[in-house]
């Protein structure tokens, strides 16, 4: 009988603890709750146009799916800056506060890898990064990438340099793991090209490349070849022409027509843009995009539409089951903006890549 005096205090403590756990735990998903798909992209700041293009592609795919907001709820989270820290902040909000089921984003490999270690505890069924993939991505089993891998890009760019008889190459890239991998891959083709110099800049901090450009040009290479994320790519494009001395610039970076018109006007002679998707998108997607937004879609819009279309088709087919979404997305095809778009077994994509020039105010495949 004496034990009874301890019973009620203990019960109260347990009840309080359970109530606290209930407050902190993520809410259970009810059968009628909408699937929440979060977009984690820069929708403001210097890369807002890239983020908005991804959003536009997602919105068109959602419209075409026929889903209502009672079935699918889109959540937009603006990272603002193009930094790993900004990506982590937005990712934390959209997973811990908004309780997204699937995300599209972040933009860029460094940003994606900054959130990747927490994917397994995030509650997400899948994450589709707006990024290229490399070997580091494969260890995260729910992580997809919507752009061809770094190895595919470098292979394409080396093939183009051979086509142009550019043997001696001066290489620019970022001081990062991605930059190191790009340099390592490039060196695998030592029997096809010769790297005569390398410049690495600190991503997010270096805004003046003129000293490095002058140094590179002084070696008189056949081409200056650069692989950069969008901010550094824009710096390189703005500063190279006055110093290039007729040495061509071949660059792999995120570009679109609006940004290039701002830098060059209507022509960018001697500048070549490598490893871009073919712009022969689905005609119905192009027409819908132009009607809604008044501009031609770029590759980011087309890739976002393609990945979202496959996702929406799968959700409809599976009656919104999340358990097998990763395995079911692999190899799936559909009526996508990018022809023959599908995810490979390693959750990357393989689509045809081309080199472009900027002529008459827009990107055009080399030779056209």
Write out pLDDT tens, residues 58-74.
999 999 999 988 899 99
Q: Look at residue 114 in the predicted model and tell me its pLDDT.
A: 92
Highest mean pLDDT among 127-136, 204-213, 323-332: 323-332
Q: What's the CA gap between 44 and 51, in Å, rounded?
A: 8
Q: How confident is the model at residue 141 (pLDDT cuts 50, 70, 90)?
A: very high
Poorest-confidence range of 53-67, 90-104, 108-122, 184-198? 108-122
Tell me the per-residue pLDDT of 298-341, one tens digit each, with 9 for 90 and over: 999 999 999 999 999 999 999 988 889 999 999 999 999 999 89
Flag whether pLDDT at 28 surpasses 60.
Answer: no
Residue 276 has pLDDT above 70, yes or no: yes
Question: What is the structure's pLDDT at 135?
Answer: 78
Residue with tokens 């703005």: 238
Average pLDDT over residues 47-66: 95
CA distances from 138 to 20, 126, 170, 181, 263 (A): 37, 13, 30, 15, 36
* Cα 253–Cα 258–Cα 263 angle in degrees, nearest 5: 70
Asked if pLDDT for residue 91 goes beyond 50, the answer is yes
pLDDT one-digit tens code per residue, 232-270: 999 999 999 999 989 999 999 988 888 899 999 999 999
Query: Domain 151-276+354-365 belongs to what architecture?
Result: 3-Layer(aba) Sandwich (3.40)
Sorted by where each begins, the domain ranges of the chain are 35-149+281-352, 151-276+354-365
Annotate 73-122 with DSSP letters as a single string: EEEEEE--SSSHHHHHHHHHIIIIIS--SEEEEEESHHHHHHHGGGGGGT
Neighbouring-strand partners of residue 249: 224, 271
- Average pLDDT over the chain, rounded to whole? 89
In the numeric block, the tokens 């934390």 are attached to: 92
Which pLDDT belongs to residue 31?
53
Identify the pLDDT of residue 57.
Answer: 97
Q: Among residues of the chain, what percentage have pLDDT more than 90?
A: 69
Q: Which residues are CB-contacts of 87 (< 8 A; sequence separation ≥ 6)?
A: 40, 79, 105, 106, 107, 108, 111, 112, 114, 115
Residue 297 in contact with residue 337, Cβ under 8 Å? yes
Read off the pLDDT band of 12 (50, 70, 90). very low
Residues in the chain: 368
**Quick check: pTM over 0.75?**
yes
Q: Indicate whether 9 pLDDT > 60.
A: no
Q: Which fold has domain 35-149+281-352?
A: Rossmann fold (3.40.50)
| DSSP summary character for residue 138 | G
Strands (E), the chain: 35-41, 72-78, 102-107, 126-132, 143-147, 168-174, 194-201, 223-227, 249-252, 271-277, 353-359, 362-365
Q: What is the pLDDT of residue 254?
A: 85
pLDDT reading at 367 higher than 80: yes
Confidence (pLDDT) at 109: 87
């Amino acid at each position: 009988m004496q034990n009874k005096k301890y019973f009620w205090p203990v019960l109260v403590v347990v009840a309080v603890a359970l109530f606290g756990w209930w407050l902190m735990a993520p809410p259970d998903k009810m059968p009628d709750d909408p699937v929440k798909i979060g977009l984690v992209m820069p929708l403001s700041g210097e890369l807002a146009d890239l983020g908005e293009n991804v959003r536009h592609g997602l919105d068109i795919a959602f419209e075409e799916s026929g889903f209502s907001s009672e079935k699918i709820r889109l959540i937009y989270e603006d990272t603002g800056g193009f930094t790993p820290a900004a990506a982590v902040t937005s990712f934390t909000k959209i997973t811990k506060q908004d309780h997204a089921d699937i995300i599209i984003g972040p933009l860029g490999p460094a940003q994606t890898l900054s959130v990747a270690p927490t994917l397994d505890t995030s509650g997400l069924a899948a994450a589709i990064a707006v990024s290229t993939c490399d070997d580091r991505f494969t260890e995260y089993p729910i992580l997809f990438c919507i752009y061809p891998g770094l190895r595919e890009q470098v292979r394409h760019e080396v093939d183009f340099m051979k086509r142009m008889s550019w043997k001696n190459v001066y290489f620019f890239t970022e001081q990062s793991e991605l930059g190191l991998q790009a340099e390592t891959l490039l060196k695998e083709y030592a029997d096809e090209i010769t790297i005569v110099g390398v410049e690495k800049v600190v991503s997010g901090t270096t805004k003046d490349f003129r000293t490095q450009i002058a140094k590179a040009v002084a070696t008189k290479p056949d081409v200056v070849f650069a692989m950069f994320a969008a901010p550094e790519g824009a710096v390189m494009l703005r500063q190279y022409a006055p110093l290039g001395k007729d040495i061509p610039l071949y660059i792999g970076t995120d570009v679109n027509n609006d940004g290039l018109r701002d830098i060059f006007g209507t022509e960018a002679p001697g500048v070549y843009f490598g490893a871009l998707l073919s712009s022969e998108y689905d005609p119905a997607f192009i027409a819908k995009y132009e009607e809604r937004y008044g501009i031609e879609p770029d590759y980011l819009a087309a890739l976002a539409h393609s990945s979202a279309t496959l996702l929406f088709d799968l959700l409809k087919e599976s009656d919104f089951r999340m358990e097998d979404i990763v395995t079911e997305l692999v190899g799936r095809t559909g009526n996508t903006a990018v022809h023959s778009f599908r995810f490979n077994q390693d959750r990357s994509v393989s689509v045809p890549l081309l080199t472009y020039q900027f002529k008459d105010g827009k990107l055009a495949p080399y030779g056209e």
